[in-house]
Amino acid sequence: MKCDRGGVQSVTVIVTTEDSPATIPPQLQEAVRRTFGYASLRPLQAEAMNAALAGRDALVVLATGAGKSLCYQGPALVRPGLTVVVSPLISLMKDQADGLIGNGVAAAMLTSAQQSGERRSVRERLAERDLRILFVAPERLLMEGFFEELLEAGLSSLVIDEAHCISHWGHDFRPEYRQIGELRRRYPHIPVQAYTATATPAVREDIARELSLKDPLLLVGSFDRPNLTYRFQPRGDLLSQVLGVIRRHPDQAGIVYCLRRKDVDELAAQLAAEGVRALPYHAGMGAELRKTNQERFLQERIEVIVATVAFGMGIDRSDVRYVVHASLPKGIEQYSQESGRAGRDGLEAECVMLYSAADYHGWKNLMTRSAEEAAAAGGTTVSSELDASLARLSQMLFFAGGAVCRHKFLVEHFGGSLEQRADGCGACDVCLGEMRPIDDPKIVAQKILSCVVRCEQRYGAAQIADVLRGANTERVRRAGHDQLSTYGLLRQHDAREIRHWIDQLLGMEHLRVTDGQYPTLFLSQSGVEVMRGERAVALYALPKLTKAAKSRTSAAALAGLSADADATKLVLFERLRALRRRLAQEKGVPPYLIFNDRTLAELAERRPKNAEEFLRIRGVGDRKVQELGECFLAEIAAAE
């Protein structure tokens, strides 16, 4: 990849291997072990850290949970000067700053949400060069004179977190991020490292170009999250479907995403009426109530948060065991980021999508209307951005309605490749055999496509399904569709099944929809070929999941314990979780900032008896031993 902007040319080295032989300097290795309790690194972390230490520009693309933050936090421990991290959300900054402070690192954030006294204290520490890491929003970074203040404070590296926000082609574009490139052009001697979890090749090029990265190292890890099980189901009885997922994960944390605020409020109330400890979260709520509900979820006082996509980017809770989408997201990038909030600790988690083609039409109308309003306000055309948004939406519908391995599709969407066993990934509805092929898919598809043609390609999916099932409705009779040769051809199937097949044909782009307030179905060229019997097609029955379908492994493995763990280890694990919750409440931080579930599982497995053994547990650094070792060791001893 080459980019040219303002005379600066970048030649990018691409590293995609997951079997990296790279090592970090002994001084940094010891600092990472003492501070964070990590004796080994994940793939590509060493390369990213070495680039940061060398003062080299880099663009690092690692999946959620792959350890991006350590890539810039580690070098800041040993490199002279100040590392400034640009982050889009205050909650995200607070989580990271609190975690670093808990590990004994001189870190702080500077935001508009702080009291004036807090901000003054941070600026005094900056002037005294008493900070290693400072978190700021892009708006503050761009304030007149602030960057010069950072230079006076010894700025040695600039980190751009959630870097996809800089790209027009990204799914979460922020205009303020776009202006960071101008700072870079004014101060080219300050190295820049950009980090993101969701960037297609086009977005990666845009990030490098807009930031004017010089000879950057591009590190692209695997986008596969093998600990996640993906399932896609047509939306029917939403409450029953969501309850089914929750009951497969009793007493475990989950996020349910809804499209509209009204849907959030209704579903949260319905779940609460069913005895689920659930609360709503959306931008229409008062700021104080929204903050309270978020904190109750982070503090493990409730299990389920029902939210719009306003919830999530700043949420680092690592033990989320399931994410449910109650409607189709706007694109695969959004889906990857939102579903990626499950299983950040590397333990098994489930991601369930409940979708309908109606979601596609709703998003399409909203995007079109927003684009028209933006064009009218600015007097310019935004057709290219609208086209890009609609293309991402179409890809999402294809993904949901298709029947290819979910892991493989996601990896390839982001430009990677995934080698699989003959029986597939073993972690999605397709490869687990939960999507059963129907008998005679060619005949069923031909009946549906023929019905669309017989209805003159002027009606939507609901009418087509009614005609095929032989519904005796006024609308069918008024249109004369009860006299068509296709009337009742699929009368042995209900409307939900037929709609499910229509969605699949839409996902495979054999059917398409018109623009407008009342979208109608019409055949694509490939759809014509299927109808004529010139092209093969596969259709799948509605999935039927039982409670037993929840997991690929045992309850012990869900807790991060070995498969042969006995009941006493599970009991100890729960005791340690309860202790973690109490300590977090005393300190006023989320429990996962004390230890994540994986560390608790290792404590339950190995049962350390003294501080030296405690320090050998992954995720336990020197500061944690000093502050927490005594109470955790006492809890472990009491369970003997």
Q: What CATH code is carried by the domain that includes residue 449? A: 1.10.10.10
Please report the pLDDT score of residue 419 as a whole number: 80
Clarify whether residues 393 and 490 are in a common domain: no
Write down which residue in 161, 194, 220 finishes a domain.
220
Task: Looking at the structure, tell me whether residues 48 and 170 fall in a common domain.
Answer: yes
Pair of tokens at residue 131: 């900070």
User: Both 236 and 210 in a single domain?
Assistant: no
| Domain region containing 573 | 555-638
**What burial letters (b/e) apply to 534-563, b meaning 16+ CB within 10 Å?**
eeebebbebbebeeebbbeeeebbbbbbee
- Give the amino acid at 432: L
| pLDDT score at 557 | 54
Q: Is residue 371 a part of any domain in this protein?
A: yes
237 and 377 assigned to the same domain: yes
Rounded to 5 degrees, φ, ψ at 110 are -130, 105
Residue 269 CA to residue 280 CA, distance in Å, equals: 8
Question: For residue 14, what pLDDT is reported?
Answer: 52
**491: in domain:** yes
Q: Average pLDDT for consecutive 10-residue bins of the chain (640 residues)?
A: 42 50 90 93 93 95 87 96 92 88 95 91 95 94 93 96 76 72 90 89 88 92 91 91 94 92 96 96 89 89 89 71 94 89 90 87 82 71 72 85 86 83 86 89 97 96 95 95 96 92 86 76 96 93 62 52 70 92 90 90 93 94 94 92
Q: What is the CATH number of the domain that holds 379?
A: 3.40.50.300
**What pLDDT does residue 234 have?**
86
pLDDT of residue 528: 97
Structural domain contains residue 190: yes
Residues 289 and 407 in one domain: yes
Domain end point (choices 368, 393, 413): 413
Is residue 207 located within the same domain as residue 66? yes
Neighbours of 403 (CB within 10 A): 16
For residues 299 and 584, is the Cβ–Cβ distance under 8 A? Answer: yes
Looking at the structure of the chain, the number of domains it has is 4
Q: What is the pLDDT of residue 172?
A: 59
Residues 362-384: b if buried by 16+ CB within 10 A, e if exposed:
ebbeebeeebeeeeeeeeeebee
Task: Establish if 421 belongs to a structural domain.
Answer: no
Determine if the pTM surpasses 0.75. Answer: yes
Regarding whether 371 and 263 lie in a shared domain, the answer is yes
| Structural domain contains residue 266 | yes
Q: Is residue 425 in a domain? A: no
Angle between helices 26-36 and 622-638 (to 10 degrees): 40
* Angstrom distances, CA of residue 132 to CA of 136, 139, 295, 565, 639: 13, 21, 27, 41, 40
Is the residue at 80 inside a domain? yes
Residues 209 and 242 placed together within one structural domain of the fold: no
Q: Are residues 212 and 264 in the same domain?
A: no
**579: CATH:** 1.10.150.80
Is the Cα torsion angle 378, 379, 384, 390 positive or negative in sign?
positive
Q: Are residues 243 and 208 in the same domain?
A: no
CB 347 within 8 A of CB 560: yes
Regarding whether 184 and 124 lie in a shared domain, the answer is: yes
Q: Is residue 550 part of a domain?
A: no
State whether 344 and 493 are in the same domain. Answer: no
Q: How far is CA 387 from CA 375, 377, 390, 391, 404, in A?
A: 14, 19, 5, 6, 25
> Which of 179, 196, 220 marks a domain boundary?
220
